[in-house]
Every structure is written in structure tokens, then in C-alpha cells.
């Protein structure tokens, strides 16, 4: 499928029906639609009948056509309709994981999983050690039944092992060649079932202008004030590249997130002339770190600077000159501090930019790199640098024939350590002041609240929200830290923060909240806004850079109800590249209410206490085209009866290969599936990516029947990763996540939505968890702070019995209200929303709207 069409379909449920089929090229292995589903086996005499067939197929996956899209399909030639339908039936199931065949080791899972895991293991080892192709079977004594299977060549007795049930070698569990005689025909592991209505019915709408649709996706992402996830950033780059040169005019006046700026500039600058490139750099690169991010992105690296590019690529000469000119135009104190902040990276990039060769044309840039590299001051070059350095005695020190930096960070640490006033210094860097509020308050300096009130208008909303959450969290217990890295690796430590001065801390929190309310009130006014109280279970995102690409985009730490059924099925699928074996394992570990280990279910224990948890069997390789799939069935009442409260789902890379090496990899869970893998029952699906080797997606609380989305990766080294080696570490991590997010003071989406409502709306309808609706109206003379206090305290004017339709902006869990055309909608589950009528928003859009100076 064409990249623009794929992105519009995935992000906005917009369909480009007239796109030529050839533009997308052939589907990669493993992505072809199964022949039992789709239009390839269906012929229809006219388009109307073809559309009826297409609608039937789509409904099985939980998708429906809008009236406009249905009419557009009916006007198509039957051949073009078949091509367009096949593209849809290839792309949509992939979002749910239904685009590949799922065949577990035990193909009749869960019924055929051995009840005695130890006996099963002993039989495998005994056969491996004693089996001989020329002798009777070492297990059953029969002759002529032992043969080698392909490709692992292990000796397998056809009488002892049921080839109609196994999908891999019974000895090593690697995939067997599909044509191997051992794999006797079995029932289709994904049996046909009659369509069953699911909870999800997603509306697909018509898009007749690809460029306009692409702009509608790109513009909100460019204006987002928080860092984008990897998938969001890739979508922006793809759409900008696909629609050049027009997309150069899509850029807004300001792109708040610096990582986003870098990614877009790296895609645009090499294709623009020198004058246009300099103009974009002047507009969007206002620090040296912006230029470094751009260089990283240009070389295929991470613009977040968490990992270096795999190789250095020299930019075109005109771009290199433009970059040096931009660095030279920056004030030296800020320029040289930025270079030292990422010193090693800049030393590598200096080999690409050659700043000393142009020291006469760009003296400020040359001086900054001279200080960074400690270049000896010799000859005419050294004399020129000394003369330039004499202009900046406050930041440049001379000694040993070299120039050194007296930096801002060192001055702050010296002031904090020596008991000197630090507020005047930090006031010059508002973001740094807000990030260091805990240290500043602990120092006991007076006037902190006033300094914060003065600085806050220039600070990004994500920084304000994070600071507000840290100040509200009481010290004690445990803390979870997420260091900068390519994945969300986390570690846990005891919370040893000192108690903050209560009165001054409260004043600072009030100043931060007042600034966020002020920004909300500056946005365009609304007549009516509708909210869900259940937004209180969702954490307001301050950064999405390490989030996994998922079907349901849930901010990390958020809580949602478990599926209603008693049985939940976890799934894992992956495929390995040629000539490399990758062994992933799906596991579940169970703890009691004090996080004491109760039991686990994985490849070493296929059944937990009978059928409380059942594993589908351990596949140890995943060659194309089939790949490999593993499942774990969880019986919630049975797990609770064992004394279990918390269940952690974990994906291990057993042989220590990072997920980024996979051809494809994803996992998730289903509610009451009708088939082995039922796309209609998928509740969550997320990709396995990055350099991680252990992924912990969620923590399920079986007592409250809720799950907390944690989306965490863990570091690892060595070989043989499994629950046995990690259950204590996982317990600490799970307990800390419950403390940090369950008991902490983190800002929720409910609060952010209430700030929007209090600052902008005259009337607010709030839906409670029981379905009842309350009405709040702005009272005469009531300011935004007073209105927000009533909303957050849940003190309505009274019940609302009228229609809940007609809101100008809605922030909901489920998109189950009818909004007027042009209204804005955030919904965690936006399945039934019509993107042709309403503007769909992400959680980060609600936060980014509170950026400094925003007037959207």
C-alpha cells in the first residue's frame, strides 16, 4: 500500500480508494492476506455486489464503511474495486495481528498442552540422548519409526510424537520445514467461525485528497510541544518526503519539539537550495544542540541523541556551510555550553564540519570548537582564537596554552553546594529552574514561588506537568527512573528525597497550576465541552519518545479495566531474518498482594496449577514465511484462587538478540477469542522494537480487575533469559510502578481536560463511571481557577437529563457521542468516531495546546 495511504488509514481511518495497486509494490513475506479472507477468491458481476462482499469481510475484523466511502467504492470498476479491497484487507488486519498465520507449537492449544511438564521435558531429553536411527525407538521400542526432521536433523519417533499436533521439532522446538513428512495434516489451527460482533466497530471514511489528508496528519504533530514517539516521527518524515516540494510550505511558524524539528529539517534541507536551507535553519535551529540533532537525523540516527548514528555521513557542501554559519551566529556562551553538553558527539561531528578550516569566516564557531577539543593555541590560528576569546572573559579561561569553559551547570552546582543564592542564576534559564525545583526548595532560598511564576510562561507544558507531579508526590517508598536511552529502560531506588517546605512548595504548585490555567484561558473559547471522569485513570503524557507503537495509545502508567471475560489470551508473534535464529518467549509471572512470588507460566512450566495459566509451547526459531507464535491463556478466577493478585506479562529474548533484529514482532492480548487467534477479540497489540531484549507491557491487578500499562524494557546480558532469573527484579519493578503511578501525584488527563474546560468553556458536561451526566456552568464573575476547583472537586450544578451531543470539544474514554461537524475529540478508544466530521486528537495534543503562546 502507498505510504501516504497506509498512514492515513492507520492514523485517521481515511481511505484513498482510487490509489493504483502497483504503487505500493508487492507485499513483504508474511503480510499477504490469507486466501480464505479477502477478495482474491471472490468474483462479483458488478461493483455493488463487490462492495457487499468487502463489507462482510471488513465486519469480521470490526471495520465498517461510511456512506461516502461506500458510494465511492460502488462507482469503481470491479477490477479496481477488487484491488482496493485487497489493499484494505491486507493493511487493516495487520493492526490487530491478523495478517499472519498463527501456529503455536501445540496446534490444538490449549487442549493438547501436556499436563505433566516435567515428564514432557524428560521424554525430550531422553530421546535426544539415546535415540538412534538404526535402532528401535528408545521411548516406545518400535522399529522403523525414527527419522530425522528438517532442518534441525533431530531424531524423532513418529509413533511417540504426534505430528498432527506439533508445529515444531519435539526435541528442540525449532520450526520444521512445512513439507517435512512428520507434519501430518492437521485441522486448520485458525478454524472458520461465524462472524461474532465485537466491542470494536471502527468507521472507515473517504479521503479524496491525499495531500490535504497528509497535511491534516502532519500539522498537529509538528505543533505538538512534547517529543513524538518513533512511529509518529517516522510518519511525519514519510509524509513530508512523499509530498515535496509542497510539504516545505506545511511547516508552522514554530515547531516546539526540538526532536521533531531535527527530523523534518533533515528530510527537507538536502532537497532545498542554499538560500531556502539557510532560511529554515535560521527559523528552526536556535541552539547548537538543534544542529546536532539535525546531523544525527541526517545520518539516520536518533534526533533525541540517545544513540549515535551507525556511520557518519558528510552533508553536501552547501548544507555544511549553512550549518557552520548557523553555529557562528549563536551567542558564544550558549554555543560553547551546548557543545560541552554533548562533547563526544560534537568531537565526532567536527570531523564532518571542519570548523577550523573556516575560522576566518566563522570565528565564533571556530572558537567554540577550539575550547571543546582543547586545541593548542599555536601560530596564526592560535593568535586569532586568543583575540576572539578576549571578548568573552566571563566564560573562557586560558591555561596551558589552551582555552577552557566556565559553564552554567558548574556555576549552579557550586552555588547549591556552597549555600550561595542560586535563583538569580537559574532565572536566566527558566526550563532549568523548573526542572531543579526540588533542589531549589530544599536549599531553603526565599522567593522561589515568585521566581517560578516569572519563569513559567516560557517553559514547555510537559516540563511544567512533570515538575508539578514531582512536587505533589510525597517522599518515601520507591521511585522509578527512566534514563535517556533508545528504549524505556527503568531502574528502581528507594525515595530518599527530603521533606520539602510545605508552605513554599504549595505556593510553587499553585504558580505552576495558575500558568497552565492561564494558557488554557488564552485558547479560543468553547460553548460546551464534555468530559469523562474516568480520564482520572489516564496519565497526562509529558513525552512519548520511548512509547511502543500500539493499537490503543495509552500513556505509560495509565489504568484501564481488564476484559470482562474470565479468560484472557496473551499472544506473541515474531519472524527472524535469514541466517539468524531468534528465540522469544512469552511468559507470565504471578505475585501475591505483597509482591511475593506465587508461580509462573512459561516454556519451563506449560501449565500453572492445572489450567490457571496454560502456555501453547515453546517455539525456539521463527523462520519466514510462517514465523512463530506463542500464547498464554489466563483464568482470572483460578489465578486469584491461588493467592495471586498481580500478574506481569513479559516477553524475553531467550538468546539475547535485540527486538530490532526481528523481521516483524508484536504481542498483545485478547478477550474471549473465538479462534486460536481472533482479530475481533484483540484488545491491545503493540510492536516489539528497539534494542531491548526484555519487554514488560502491563501489570494486571486481578483483585480490582484492572491493568496498568507500563510499557517497560529491561537491560540484559548473557544467554537464557527467563522468569526464573528475573522474577525478583520484576517484582521490585512492578511494586515500584504501582507506588509511583498509583500513589504518586502525577498529573492526569482528567486534570488537563478540566483546565481546558475551566479556561475555555461556558458549560461543561461530565459523565460519571456509572453513565450519569452532571452539568457545570460558569457562574457570573467566576474565574478559571474557581471553575477548575469545582470541576476537580466534582461539585456540579446538578444532573443533566438532556442530550450529550453538541459539544465543541470532548475528552472521553469511548467515542460514543455524536459531535457536531468540526468538533475536536480525544478518545482513548476512538473506534466509532467519523474522522471526516470531527478532528481526532491524541492525549499529547491536549497537553501541547497549553504550550507558551499557543492560540489554537
Is residue 437 in some structural domain?
A: yes
Cβ–Cβ under 8 Å, residues 820 and 806: yes
Is residue 301 in some structural domain?
A: yes
How high is the pLDDT of residue 425? Answer: 82
How high is the pLDDT of residue 108? Answer: 84
Cβ–Cβ under 8 Å, residues 377 and 401: yes
Lowest mean pLDDT among 647-651, 666-670, 790-794, 829-833: 829-833
Q: Are residues 236 and 383 in the same domain?
A: yes
Nearest to 433 by CA among 464, 404, 407: 464
Is residue 817 in some structural domain?
A: yes
How high is the pLDDT of residue 424? Answer: 83
How high is the pLDDT of residue 30? Answer: 40
Cβ–Cβ under 8 Å, residues 856 and 524: yes
Query: pTM value?
Result: 0.84
Half-sphere exposure of 327 (CA within 13 A, CB side): 36
- Cβ-count burial of 802 within 10 angstroms (0-12 exposed, 13-18 middle, 19+ buried)? exposed
Which CA distances in Å does 298 have to 263, 266, 282, 772? Answer: 8, 5, 18, 52
Q: Are residues 440 and 528 in the same domain?
A: no
Which of the four pLDDT bands, split at 50, 70 and 90, describes residue 436? Answer: confident
How high is the pLDDT of residue 488? Answer: 52
Buried-exposed string 93-130: b where 16+ CB fall within 10 A, e elsewhere: bbbbbbbbbbbbbbbbbbebbeeebeeeeebbeebeee
Cβ–Cβ under 8 Å, residues 631 and 187: no
Cβ–Cβ under 8 Å, residues 110 and 614: yes
Q: How far apart are CA 248 and CA 244, in angstroms?
A: 7
| Selected residue with higher pLDDT from 552 and 120 | 552
Helix (H/G/I), strand (E/B), else coil: 545: coil
Q: Are residues 714 and 737 in the same domain?
A: yes
Q: Are residues 16 and 47 in the same domain?
A: yes
Cell 579561561 maps to which residue? 397
Residue-wise pLDDT for 290-348, tens only, equals 999 999 999 988 898 888 887 888 888 888 899 999 999 999 888 988 998 899 999 99
Helix (H/G/I), strand (E/B), else coil: 840: strand
Q: Are residues 586 and 699 in the same domain?
A: yes
Sequence-separated (6 or more) residues with CB below 8 Å from residue 258: 287, 289, 290, 293, 303
Q: How far apart are CA 532 and CA 733, in angstroms?
A: 30
Sequence-separated (6 or more) residues with CB below 8 Å from residue 594: none
Sequence-separated (6 or more) residues with CB below 8 Å from residue 116: none
DSSP 107-135: TTTTTTS-S-HHHHHHHHHHHHHH--TTS
Q: Are residues 668 and 759 in the same domain?
A: no
Which of the four pLDDT bands, split at 50, 70 and 90, describes residue 148? Answer: confident
Is residue 133 in some structural domain?
A: no
> If you average pLDDT over each of 102-106, 378-382, 435-439, 771-775, which comes out highest?
771-775
Which of 743, 778, 809 lies at the terminal end of a domain, its last residue?
Answer: 743
Lowest mean pLDDT among 109-123, 254-268, 462-476, 759-773: 109-123
Q: Are residues 402 and 415 in the same domain?
A: no
Which of 727, 743, 759 lies at the terminal end of a domain, its last residue?
Answer: 743
Helix or strand holding residue 425 (H, E): helix 423-426
Q: How far apart are CA 409 and CA 592, in angstroms?
A: 45
Q: How far apart are CA 54 and CA 57, in angstroms?
A: 5
Is residue 125 in some structural domain?
A: no
Is residue 759 in some structural domain?
A: yes
Sequence-separated (6 or more) residues with CB below 8 Å from residue 113: 106, 606, 607, 614, 615, 616, 617
Domain with 800, as residue range(s), is 520-539+748-848
Residue-wise pLDDT for 487-539, tens only, equals 556 667 777 777 778 888 999 999 999 999 999 999 999 999 999 999 999 99
Question: Which domain CATH number covers 590?
Answer: 2.60.60.30
Cell 495531500 maps to which residue? 211
Is residue 772 in some structural domain?
A: yes
Q: Are residues 682 and 796 in the same domain?
A: no
How high is the pLDDT of residue 622? Answer: 94
Q: Are residues 532 and 639 in the same domain?
A: no
Which of 459, 482, 501 lies at the terminal end of a domain, its last residue?
Answer: 459
Kindly give the interhelix angle for 210-222 and 258-268, rounded to the nearest 10 degrees: 140
Which CA distances in Å does 513 have to 436, 509, 538, 744? Answer: 17, 6, 19, 17
Mean pLDDT of 48-76: 88
Which CA distances in Å does 285 have to 270, 369, 673? Answer: 16, 18, 51
Give the angle 830-762-534 at the CA atoms, nearest 5°.
Answer: 35
Mean pLDDT of 419-446: 84
What are 253's three cell numbers? 511558524
DSSP 384-415: HHHHHHTT-TTTEEEETTEEEE--HHHHHHHH
Dmax of the chain from CA atoms? 95
Which CA distances in Å does 554 have to 547, 551, 679, 703, 843? Answer: 9, 9, 20, 21, 9
Cβ–Cβ under 8 Å, residues 520 and 799: no
How high is the pLDDT of residue 28? Answer: 37
Residue-wise pLDDT for 406-424, tens only, equals 667 667 777 777 677 788 8
Cell 478532528 maps to which residue? 839
Which of the four pLDDT bands, split at 50, 70 and 90, describes residue 190? Answer: very low
Structural domains in the chain (count): 5
| Selected residue with higher pLDDT from 808 and 426 | 808
Which of the four pLDDT bands, split at 50, 70 and 90, describes residue 195? Answer: very low
Q: Are residues 819 and 722 in the same domain?
A: no
How high is the pLDDT of residue 772? Answer: 94
Sequence-separated (6 or more) residues with CB below 8 Å from residue 638: 609, 610, 611, 612
Q: Are residues 671 and 775 in the same domain?
A: no
Please check the confidence at residue 361 and state whether its pLDDT lies above 60.
Answer: yes
Is residue 382 in some structural domain?
A: yes
How high is the pLDDT of residue 483? Answer: 63
DSSP lists the bridge partners of residue 824 as 809, 839
Q: How far apart are CA 741 and CA 202, in angstroms?
A: 31
Q: Are residues 777 and 667 in the same domain?
A: no
Cβ–Cβ under 8 Å, residues 316 and 348: no
Residue-wise pLDDT for 696-730, tens only, equals 999 999 999 999 999 988 777 778 888 888 899 89
Amino acid at each position: 500500500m502507498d505510504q501516504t495511504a497506509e498512514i492515513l488509514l492507520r492514523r485517521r481511518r481515511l481511505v484513498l480508494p482510487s490509489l493504483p495497486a502497483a504503487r505500493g509494490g508487492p507485499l513483504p513475506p508474511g503480510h499477504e492476506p490469507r486466501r480464505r479472507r479477502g477478495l482474491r477468491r471472490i468474483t462479483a458481476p458488478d461493483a455493488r455486489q463487490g462492495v457487499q462482499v468487502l463489507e462482510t469481510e471488513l465486519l469480521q475484523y470490526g471495520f465498517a464503511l461510511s456512506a461516502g466511502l461506500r458510494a465511492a467504492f460502488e462507482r469503481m470498476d470491479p477490477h479496481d474495486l477488487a484491488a482496493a479491497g485487497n489493499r484494505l484487507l491486507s493493511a487493516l488486519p495487520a493492526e490487530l495481528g491478523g495478517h499472519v498465520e498463527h501456529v503455536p507449537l501445540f496446534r490444538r492449544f490449549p487442549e493438547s498442552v501436556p499436563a505433566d511438564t516435567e515428564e514432557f521435558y524428560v521424554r525430550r531429553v531422553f530421546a535426544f540422548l539415546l535415540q538412534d536411527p538404526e535402532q528401535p525407538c528408545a521411548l516406545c521400542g518400535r522399529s522403523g519409526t525414527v527419522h530425522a526432521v528438517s532442518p534441525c536433523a533431530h531424531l524423532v519417533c513418529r509413533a511417540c510424537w504426534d505430528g498432527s499436533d506439533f508445529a515444531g521439532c519435539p526435541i528442540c522446538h525449532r520450526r520444521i520445514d512445512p513439507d517435512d513428512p512428520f507434519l501430518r495434516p492437521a485441522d486448520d489451527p485458525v478454524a472458520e467461525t461465524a462472524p461474532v460482533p465485537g466491542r470494536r466497530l471502527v468507521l472507515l471514511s473517504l479521503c479524496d485528497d491525499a495531500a490535504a489528508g497528509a497535511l491534516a496528519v502532519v500539522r498537529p504533530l509538528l505543533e505538538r510541544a512534547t517529543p513524538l514517539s518513533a512511529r509518529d516521527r517516522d510518519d511525519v518524515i514519510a509524509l513530508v518526503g512523499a509530498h515535496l516540494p509542497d510539504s516545505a510550505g506545511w511547516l508552522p511558524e514554530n515547531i516546539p519539539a526540538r526532536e521533531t524539528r531535527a527530523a523534518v529539517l533533515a528530510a527537507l534541507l538536502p532537497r532545498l537550495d542554499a538560500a531556502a536551507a539557510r532560511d529554515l535553519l535560521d527559523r528552526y535551529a536556535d541552539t547548537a544542540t538543534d544542529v546536532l540533532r539535525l546531523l544525527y537525523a541526517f545520518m539516520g540516527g536518533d534526533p533525541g541523541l540517545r544513540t549515535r548514528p551507525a556511520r557518519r555521513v558528510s552533508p553536501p557542501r552547501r548544507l555544511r556551510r549553512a550549518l557552520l554559519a548557523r553555529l557562528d551566529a549563536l551567542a558564544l556562551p550558549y554555543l560553547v555550553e551546548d557543545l560541552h553538553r554533548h562533547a563526544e558527539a560534537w568531537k565526532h561531528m567536527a570531523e564532518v564540519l571542519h570548523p577550523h578550516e573556516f575560522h576566518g569566516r566563522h570565528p565564533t564557531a571556530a572558537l567554540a570548537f577550539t575550547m571543546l577539543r582543547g586545541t593548542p593555541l599555536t601560530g596564526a590560528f592560535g593568535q586569532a582564537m586568543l583575540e576572539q576569546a578576549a571578548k568573552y572573559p566571563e566564560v573562557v579561561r586560558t591555561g596551558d596554552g589552551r582555552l577552557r569553559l566556565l559553564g552554567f551547570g558548574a556555576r549552579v552546582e557550586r552555588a547549591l553546594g556552597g549555600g550561595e543564592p542560586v535563583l538569580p542564576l537559574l532565572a536566566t534559564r527558566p526550563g532549568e529552574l523548573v526542572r531543579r525545583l526540588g533542589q531549589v526548595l530544599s536549599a531553603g532560598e526565599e522567593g522561589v514561588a515568585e521566581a517560578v511564576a516569572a519563569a513559567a510562561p516560557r517553559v514547555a507544558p510537559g516540563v511544567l506537568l512533570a515538575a508539578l507531579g514531582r512536587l505533589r508526590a510525597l517522599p518515601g517508598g520507591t521511585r522509578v527512573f527512566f534514563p535517556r536511552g533508545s528504549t524505556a529502560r527503568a531502574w528502581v531506588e528507594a525515595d530518599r528525597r527530603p521533606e520539602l517546605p510545605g508552605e513554599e512548595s504549595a505556593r510553587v504548585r499553585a504558580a505552576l497550576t495558575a500558568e497552565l490555567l492561564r494558557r488554557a484561558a488564552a485558547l479560543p473559547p468553547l460553548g460546551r465541552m464534555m468530559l469523562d471522569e474516568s480520564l482520572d485513570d489516564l496519565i497526562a503524557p509529558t513525552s512519548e519518545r520511548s512509547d511502543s507503537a500500539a493499537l490503543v495509545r495509552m500513556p505509560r502508567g495509565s489504568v484501564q479495566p481488564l476484559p470482562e471475560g474470565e479468560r484472557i489470551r496473551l499472544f506473541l508473534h515474531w519472524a527472524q531474518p535469514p541466517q539468524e535464529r531468534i528465540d522469544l518467549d512469552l511468559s507470565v509471572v504471578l505475585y501475591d498482594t505483597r509482591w511475593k512470588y506465587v508461580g509462573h507460566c512459561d516454556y519451563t512450566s506449560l501449565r500453572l496449577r492445572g489450567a490457571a495459566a496454560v502456555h501453547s509451547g515453546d517455539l525456539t526459531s521463527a523462520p519466514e514465511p510462517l514465523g512463530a507464535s506463542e500464547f498464554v491463556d489466563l483464568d482470572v478466577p483460578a489465578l486469584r484462587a491461588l493467592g495471586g493478585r498481580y500478574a506481569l506479562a513479559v516477553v524475553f529474548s531467550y538468546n539475547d538478540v535485540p527486538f530490532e533484529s526481528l523481521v516483524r514482532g508484536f504481542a498483545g492480548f485478547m478477550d474471549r477469542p473465538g479462534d486460536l487467534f481472533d482479530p475481533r477479540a484483540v484488545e491491545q497489540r503493540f510492536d516489539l522494537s528497539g534494542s531491548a531484549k526484555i519487554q514488560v507491557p502491563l501489570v494486571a491487578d486481578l483483585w480490582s480487575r484492572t491493568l496498568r500499562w507500563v510499557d517497560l524494557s529491561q537491560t540484559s546480558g548473557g544467554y537464557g533469559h527467563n522468569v526464573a532469573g528475573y522474577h525478583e527484579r520484576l517484582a521490585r519493578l512492578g511494586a515500584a510502578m504501582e507506588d509511583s503511578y498509583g500513589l504518586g501525584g502525577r498529573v492526569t488527563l482528567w486534570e488537563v481536560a478540566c483546565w481546558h474546560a475551566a479556561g475555555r468553556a461556558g458549560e461543561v458536561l461530565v459523565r460519571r463511571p456509572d453513565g450519569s451526566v452532571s452539568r457545570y456552568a460558569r457562574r457570573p464573575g467566576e474565574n478559571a481557577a474557581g471553575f477548575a476547583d469545582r470541576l476537580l472537586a466534582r461539585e456540579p450544578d446538578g444532573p443533566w437529563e438532556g442530550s450529550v451531543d453538541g459539544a465543541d470539544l470532548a475528552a472521553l474514554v469511548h467515542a460514543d457521542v455524536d459531535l457536531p461537524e468540526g468538533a475536536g475529540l480525544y478518545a482513548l478508544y476512538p473506534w466509532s468516531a467519523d474522522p471526516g466530521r470531527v478532528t481526532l486528537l491524541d492525549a499529547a495534543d491536549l497537553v501541547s495546546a497549553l504550550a507558551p503562546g499557543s492560540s489554537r
